[in-house]
Structure 1
């Protein structure tokens, strides 16, 4: 199996800088000139700068629900809980009230990450000490067991959006350390690593075109064109990227896979992945076209080390589909030129 996970650390940094505008702040500028042995060092360096920045700005607070047994009445009295706890014997009642507190999920994730890293022998001692030194700022935050399920409950809004980059990097670093320490087979680890990089790849592609071009850039859901309005159980068609200019629309699907072409047998001719072609073809055919609008699709793969790489333009039932592969191991200037050229194939 040919893989594409040998991406230079420097390019992962650039991908992060596009995917997360925060990385362009002055506090992070020094990272751009440093050399890192592995991606764990990069993530740890980002957190060593980003978490103090969050602390200086003040940890976010929100109202949390508190239940306690007290002889002072505040909030609402929970009669059922008071009876169950037999609190009245001691002239106490169970009260429930809202408290404006730092003890929220986002701060809990950061604190748990600091604890985890400060105990990990996969991170150098200097960094571990630095992270341990940040823990006193989280004394009002509860200790929670770090696990991937924590991130599933995270929700962002205008008040806490500044946390997104740091909390995401906490996850990237935790996952990297977790899988490094696990007994999982090397092949499975590579697959898991690809899954993490796939998410970053999609974010990077979107953010790149948003920042570097004058196209109208979006990632809308496409509604199914059905005859009877019945859409129950139909899958959601969520685009990765849509570029528009002068009544021309390019629907882009970013693909980061270990294999971007397939052969039925060893030594056989490499073919396009049919499922991906069907997907982009379906997107095109269900796009609600305006009058005189031209719509095309693009499968934007990350290049693997396989000899045969997709680089094709198809015309199917009047629809143009471009299939290209982006070399993430080249200098970042080359990555930028390639992406602009791919879009220009359609819009020129």
Structure 2
């Protein structure tokens, strides 16, 4: 997709550094001064450093349930499995016990990524050799075949949160390589590009205001303002960003699409995407506001190469809805100024 390929790699690095505070560690400092030909090189360099940092700190372990038929009984006897597998014929019983092991999903994803990258011709020889050299540290970890569904099963807590940045970058890089190989049509390539960067874009917008502004920054779920308390089957209203200051609340949603506006037919008038407007309108109307509180909504689109870009302010039922387009191709200092100016439209 032309728009995404034109985003400077340096700006993607800055987006990552905001979205993930880990990238500000001293080990990553050299990355900010390097030039990369494409985003795959950036992700690969991050992984080569980040996985080494993880190994140095020790791979995380957790208690895993193990089922086997050993010669010596340990743990709990599993009667059902013993009968099902007829292990008594060999004078054995099936047992189940917990083992404190490195063979957890997070380590499995990293090992699977290392194996995938070590054999990918999309990665340069020096980097492939580096990834191959890290594999011995994952000897006790199961080698899983990578699948995007693996990441959906990942859960973080205080003990393993240090993995989040690296495991996310594993996904970013895997998707880049996977879709390069499998996507043939231009339409599919645009859809894949949109999916790959949308989550990073959302994380970046939130983290930017958290670090660079003096607003109260949060991203709570908004509860439906129902009359009878019945909420069964209503969709979750999960916000991307909420800014608050001086009895004012701005509910913002980050949007990263291949097309920001739509026309009913070729050459027709470009219109706002109705689903996005309905979404932000629902947010501001269901927000439980205080007696003197003023609430507004904002859609922050990533600018595309199309001629028509969203840049509007609507006044609906005494509430403002701002629609803006952020140019990710401009210098990063200008990106920062643009984001702050968007909020200023409401708070100033």
- Residue 293 in structure 1 maps to residue 293 in structure 2: yes
Q: Which residue of 2 aligns with 1:268?
A: 268
Match runs of 1:1-348 below 5 Å: 3-4=3-4, 6-348=6-348
Q: Secondary structure at the match of 1:304?
A: coil
Q: Is the CA contact 2:4–2:193 (under 8 Å) kept in the aligned structure 1? A: no
Separation in 2, partners of 1:19, 1:31: 16
Alpha-carbon distance, 1:4 to partner: 5.0
Separation in 1, partners of 2:117, 2:109: 12
Separation in 2, partners of 1:322, 1:81: 61
Separation in 1, partners of 2:321, 2:190: 30
Q: CA RMSD in A?
A: 1.4
Structure 1 residue runs without a partner (length 5+):
none
Separation in 2, partners of 1:312, 1:176: 34
Separation in 2, partners of 1:184, 1:233: 38
Alpha-carbon distance, 1:207 to partner: 0.5
Number of aligned positions between the proteins: 348
Separation in 2, partners of 1:340, 1:54: 35
Alpha-carbon distance, 1:314 to partner: 1.5
Separation in 1, partners of 2:172, 2:211: 24
Separation in 1, partners of 2:4, 2:119: 31
Q: Secondary structure at the match of 1:342?
A: helix
Range moving further from structure 2, 314-323 or 229-238: 229-238
Separation in 2, partners of 1:128, 1:46: 14
Report runs of 4+ in structure 1 exceeding 6 Å deviation. Answer: none
Range moving further from structure 2, 168-177 or 81-90: 81-90
Q: C-alpha deviations, 1:111-170, integer Å up to 9, x for none?
A: 010000000011001000000000000011111111111111110000000000000100
Alpha-carbon distance, 1:269 to partner: 2.5
Give the TM-score taking structure 2 as reference length: 0.97
Range moving further from structure 2, 319-328 or 268-277: 268-277
Q: Structure 2 vs 1, CA of residues 133 and 15 (structure 1 numbering), >3 Å: closer, same or farther?
A: same
Separation in 2, partners of 1:165, 1:330: 25
Q: Is the CA contact 1:5–1:193 (under 8 Å) kept in the aligned structure 2? A: no
Structure 2 residue runs without a partner (length 5+):
none
Q: Structure 2 vs 1, CA of residues 203 and 183 (structure 1 numbering), >3 Å: closer, same or farther?
A: closer
Q: Is the CA contact 2:183–2:189 (under 8 Å) kept in the aligned structure 1? A: no
Separation in 2, partners of 1:159, 1:195: 29
Give the TM-score taking structure 1 as reference length: 0.97
Separation in 2, partners of 1:72, 1:96: 12
